[in-house]
């Protein structure tokens, strides 16, 4: 159980769903351990948040547990989509813990937001990667099947084809240096996805495809707090077991920051 997520399902305002998918990771695997590591490191956090004067244990957070993947990624995403949709229909905000970034496809399909906002080092605008259309490198491409617009914050890596696609009107790329001054569009429902590799790997080395010259934890934290009140759902993805817990500590803190800011609004 995610520490402090003590609410029963019937009483939940927020629901944590673990999605330990690790099927298409192309460099350093280990995202299957992400949900477990995020829960483990959060055990050391204080319950009280001074910025919102609230206690995590009092915010009606429920932990659904992990939804285990099988061999078929498409089938798994359909099942995860159904679970996320059930919570949404009950008026509960889903918080999905990856797992590789591909799990975001299920959540976006379930929630159908107007705008997809992602903190990510990579554009993820490929139509397919390594012979598969459902991949951690195709997430934004699939998100645009549901959302009217995609905003990628902190992106600094992509193929030539992806950068050309990113120049189209329905995609906005905010480079790392401009992220601190970025403000979200408040017209419509947003979905927020945080790929931990948006952070500079000096802060979060435990991820599958680290990319230098990234964002500071402080910048990511402020973005999460800005976007949370406008969001219908959230995920934290791409934490693996290849560091001493730095990526997981940052990720778990961001999960809690989302809940505090969403609740306070």
Distance separating alpha carbons of residues 135 and 186, to the nearest angstrom: 30
Q: What is the mean pLDDT of residues 154-169?
A: 98
Residues 260/51, Cβ–Cβ less than 8 Å: yes
Contacts of 87 (CB under 8 A, 6+ apart): 12, 15, 17, 64, 93, 94
pLDDT of residue 187: 79
pLDDT in tens, 81-109: 999 999 999 999 999 999 999 999 999 99
pLDDT of residue 203: 98
| Paired tokens of 127 | 């139509």
pLDDT of residue 107: 98
Helix axes 246-264, 34-41, angle to 10 degrees: 70
DSSP assignment of 181-246, as one string?
Answer: G-----SS-EEEEEEGGGB-TTT---BSS--SS-B-HHHHHHHHHHHGGGEEEEEEE-B-SSSSSH
pLDDT in tens, 18-58: 999 999 998 999 999 999 999 999 999 999 999 999 999 99
**Could you give all domains of the chain from N- to C-terminal order, each with its CATH number?**
9-264 (3.40.800.10)
pTM attached to this predicted model: 0.97
Confidence band for 185, pLDDT divided at 50, 70 and 90: confident
pLDDT of residue 186: 85
Q: What angle do CA 64, 67, 68 make, to 5 degrees?
A: 150
């Amino acid at each position: 159980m995610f520490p402090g997520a003590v609410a029963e399902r019937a009483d939940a305002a927020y629901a944590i769903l673990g999605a330990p998918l690790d099927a298409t990771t192309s460099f350093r695997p280990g995202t299957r351990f992400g949900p477990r590591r995020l829960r483990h490191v959060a055990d050391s956090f204080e319950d009280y948040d001074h910025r919102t004067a609230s206690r995590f244990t009092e915010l009606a957070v429920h932990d659904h547990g992990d939804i285990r993947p099988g061999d078929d990624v498409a089938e798994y995403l359909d099942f995860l989509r159904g679970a996320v949709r059930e919570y949404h229909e009950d008026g509960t905000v889903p918080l999905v813990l990856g797992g590789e970034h591909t799990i975001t496809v299920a959540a976006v399909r379930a929630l159908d937001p107007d705008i997809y906002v992602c903190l990510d080092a990579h554009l993820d605008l490929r139509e397919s990667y390594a012979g598969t259309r459902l991949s951690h490198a195709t997430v934004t491409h699939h998100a645009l099947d549901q959302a009217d617009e995609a905003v990628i914050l902190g992106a600094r890596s992509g193929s030539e084809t992806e950068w050309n696609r990113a120049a189209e009107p329905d995609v906005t790329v905010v480079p790392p240096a401009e992220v601190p001054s970025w403000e979200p569009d408040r017209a419509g429902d947003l979905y927020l996805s945080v790929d931990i590799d948006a952070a500079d790997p000096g802060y979060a080395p435990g991820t599958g495809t680290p990319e230098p010259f990234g964002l500071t934890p402080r910048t990511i934290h402020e973005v999460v707090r800005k976007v949370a009140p406008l969001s219908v759902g959230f995920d934290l993805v791409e934490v693996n077991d290849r560091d001493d817990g730095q990526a997981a500590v940052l990720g778990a803190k961001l999960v809690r920051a989302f809940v505090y800011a969403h609740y306070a609004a």
